[in-house]
Structure 1
Amino acid sequence: MITIEMLCVRLQRVSAAELEGWIERAWIRPEGAPGHYLFEPIDEARARLILELRDDLHINEEALPVVLSLLDQVYAARRHMRRVRDAIEAHADNGLAEQLRQLLQEEQR
């Protein structure tokens, strides 16, 4: 875990005040309280994503919550699909996997 100051050093393109604004908007959810935030690697990755969206892709501040929400939904769907895949693979011997494959192939047509 790292402090807000260390995160600013690592990111180079964001101030502590900006990061605190992102925390207030719940774009980043570090542990701790104001003045004592601790950031996990996932928080740093999220901050890098926000910077990329803002600076490289020129997504404005008003659109960022929508884009972040949609990305969160995509990541959640991917996690759910991995769980479904794992459950299917665990029961592959009973024919369930083959039935689901057929249903998915029909859906793609």
Structure 2
Amino acid sequence: MNKQQFLTSAGVQVQTLEFWIEQQWLIPDQTSADMAFSDKDVARAHLIRELKGDFGVNDEGIDVILHLVDQLHGLRRAFEQLHKEIETPSR
């Protein structure tokens, strides 16, 4: 989705999005004409909004939480790969 579609889906303002990109909380794909966002980016934006709004987490806390979430997802992918390798018989 393009930038405008993302802003609508995520419910954020342009300035907020620019700050989040500057902080590397969101890293959209770059196309020749614009930025491209995914559904994962929208979900991450909702998480950031909830952490800041509902839980009052400050910017430093957001950095830590997002880093931990990214590590968790990386471990999940690694475990899935390991599980596939264990299930595949050796030849």
Q: Is the 8 A contact 2:52 2:58 kept in 1?
A: yes
Large movers: runs of 4+ above 6 Å:
none
| Aligned partner of residue 27 in structure 1, secondary structure | coil
CA distance in 2, matches of 1:8, 1:56: 20
Structure having the higher strand fraction is: 2
Residues 1:86 and 2:81 are matched in the alignment:
no
CA distance in 1, matches of 2:59, 2:67: 13
For structure 1, list consecutive stretches of 5 or more residues without a partner in the other structure.
94-109
The 5 A counterparts of 1:17-32 are: 17-32=15-30
The 5 A counterparts of 1:25-40 are: 25-32=23-30, 36-40=34-38
CA RMSD in angstroms comes to 2.0
What's the TM-score, normalizing by structure 1? 0.71
Bigger radius of gyration = 1
CA distance in 1, matches of 2:54, 2:21: 21
Matching residue of 1:65: 63
Structure with higher RCO (Cα < 8 A, 6+ apart): 2
Instruction: Determine which of 41, 44, 54 is the counterpart of 2:42.
Output: 44
CA distance in 2, matches of 1:36, 1:26: 17
Matching residue of 1:11: 10
Identity among equivalent positions (%) equals 34
